[in-house]
Amino acid sequence: MRIGIVCPYSLDAHGGVQVHVMDLARELMRRGHEVQVLAPASSDLELPDWVTSAGDSIAIPYNGSIARLNFGTAVARRAHRWLAAGDFDLLHIHEPITPSVGMLALQASDGPVVGTFHAAMDRSLARELLSPVAVPLVEKLTARIAVSEEARRTLIQYHGGDAVVIPNGVYVAPFADAPKHDPRFVGTTQAPTISFLGRLDEPRKGLQVLARAIPTVLAAIPDARFLIAGRGDAAEERAALERFGDQVVFLGGVSDADKAAMLASCSCYVAPQTGGESFGIVLVEAMAAGTHVVASDLTAFSDVLGEGTYGALFHNGDSDDLARAIIDTLTDTAAADTRRTAASAVVGRYDWSAVTDAVLDVYDMALSTAHTRVTIAPGSRTMVGRLRDALED
């Protein structure tokens, strides 16, 4: 099968959607399919020969984070050329309603098109404004996938219809096989290590919630050590925690190998995110690594953790409750080990082998419904102007 996959976010930045797209493409190619990917990327970024750049991107605030997107007439022409050259059996567009190259590719195409929706949000003015314009585009999708029930809820809320829920994929083996006694990260019963991973300067990642919990945890477990990994400035949190010396370590950005080793070696992983999460891929990575997990009770996180069966939950934004959950996890080892064992038994459902099987089932359904290949839509330029006018109003 010849498959075209479109990613709306720039490959210059590391993000969950970008990783998902690239991993899915590799897994499909491993199974013998021909795959081409279209995504924003700068001219100096080295890309595989199966990835085509849609051009440079611009950074815009989106859903509590910064998204690097590209849009406009030049991008539309690149998408048009890519579609014409691809001769695809099926097109798979991620976040097809985000104003980026994916939306332009959807507008320019006819035939079997699958859309995957990643975003989850309670309220979005941008989505509300775009919804009327997006109606004809959403109707072009042959099939829809949502990466979680929260992403499905957001899709239904703003665009109607429904979607099959297929979770984000993870290669379980690298985390399960990671070294579990890396001296940089390993904890003991007397001196446990608690890890955090996320952008330090994105408030929704919850570092400030964890920082307020740390004094209470250290008062109860004086030899505990916190490992804070992630890029970005966190001057306020660093200053507040400086008095704890080596018990709070800021690691900066870490490699994929070091992330796996940290998750496998630490006593407990904490996910204090406060919102804007549709899935929680790092929770699955921690589960695969075999560590105890503590997470805020966001709906997306609660779903992954089986409402507390596979990890401990605390009240979102409540640092006192977070401290309680960490202390309980580190001291009530029997209950924590029961959750970890349960997590190990189910984490395989998120492995790319299982996820790709489910995605291929959706592809088969879309192909059987469409009865045609992907072609260039007649009059496809008109929607670009309509959308540009809507955005400028």
Task: Look at residue 173 and tell me whether its pLDDT is greater than 90.
Answer: yes
Same-fold call for 2-169+351-392 versus 172-349: yes
Identify whether the C-beta of residue 148 lies closer than 8 Å to the C-beta of residue 300. yes
Non-local CB neighbours of 277 within 8 Å, separated by 6+ positions: 120, 150, 204, 298, 300, 301
Identify the CA nearest to 384 among candidates 101, 194, 146.
101
Model's pTM, two decimal places?
0.88
For the domain 2-169+351-392, what is the CATH code?
Answer: 3.40.50.2000
**What burial class does residue 265 get, using C-beta atoms within 10 Å of its C-beta: 0-12 exposed, 13-18 middle, 19+ buried?**
buried
Identify whether the C-beta of residue 192 lies closer than 8 Å to the C-beta of residue 267. yes
Cα–Cα distance, 94 to 8 (Å, whole number): 7
Task: Look at residue 389 and tell me whether its pLDDT is greater than 50.
Answer: no
Which pLDDT score, from 0 to 100, does residue 126 have?
59
Q: How much is the average pLDDT of 142-162?
A: 91
Query: Locate tokens 């080990």: which residue?
Result: 337
Task: Look at residue 177 and tell me whether its pLDDT is greater than 80.
Answer: yes
Cα–Cα distance, 224 to 121 (Å, whole number): 35
Give residue limits of the domains in the chain. 2-169+351-392, 172-349
Which pLDDT tens digit goes with each residue over 258-287?
999 999 999 999 999 998 888 889 999 999
Cα–Cα distance, 361 to 318 (Å, whole number): 41
Band of residue 306 on the pLDDT scale cut at 50, 70, 90: very high
Please spell the DSSP secondary structure of 215-270, one letter per residue.
HHHHHHSTT-EEEEE-SS--HHHHHHHGGGGGGEEEEES--HHHHHHHHHHSSEEE
Which pLDDT score, from 0 to 100, does residue 278 have?
85
Task: Look at residue 147 and tell me whether its pLDDT is greater than 90.
Answer: yes
Which pLDDT tens digit goes with each residue over 205-237?
999 999 999 999 999 999 999 999 999 888 999
Which pLDDT score, from 0 to 100, does residue 168 have?
95
Which pLDDT score, from 0 to 100, does residue 160 have?
83
Which pLDDT score, from 0 to 100, does residue 123 have?
61
Which pLDDT tens digit goes with each residue over 154-167?
999 888 889 999 99
Identify whether the C-beta of residue 383 lies closer than 8 Å to the C-beta of residue 110. no
What percentage of the chain has pLDDT greater than the value 70? Answer: 92
Which pLDDT tens digit goes with each residue over 352-364?
999 999 999 999 9
CATH 3.30.70.890 fits 172-349, yes or no: no
Pick the range with the lowest mean pLDDT from 23-27, 43-47, 127-131. Answer: 127-131
Band of residue 382 on the pLDDT scale cut at 50, 70, 90: very low
Cα–Cα distance, 310 to 295 (Å, whole number): 11
Which pLDDT score, from 0 to 100, does residue 188 have?
94
Task: Look at residue 102 and tell me whether its pLDDT is greater than 50.
Answer: yes
Task: Look at residue 137 and tell me whether its pLDDT is greater than 60.
Answer: yes
Q: Is the dihedral of CA 306, 309, 310, 311 positive or negative?
A: positive
Long-range pairs of 53-62 with CB within 8 A, sequence gap ≥ 24: 53/78, 54/78, 54/79, 54/82, 54/101, 57/9, 57/10, 57/12, 57/100, 62/98, 62/126
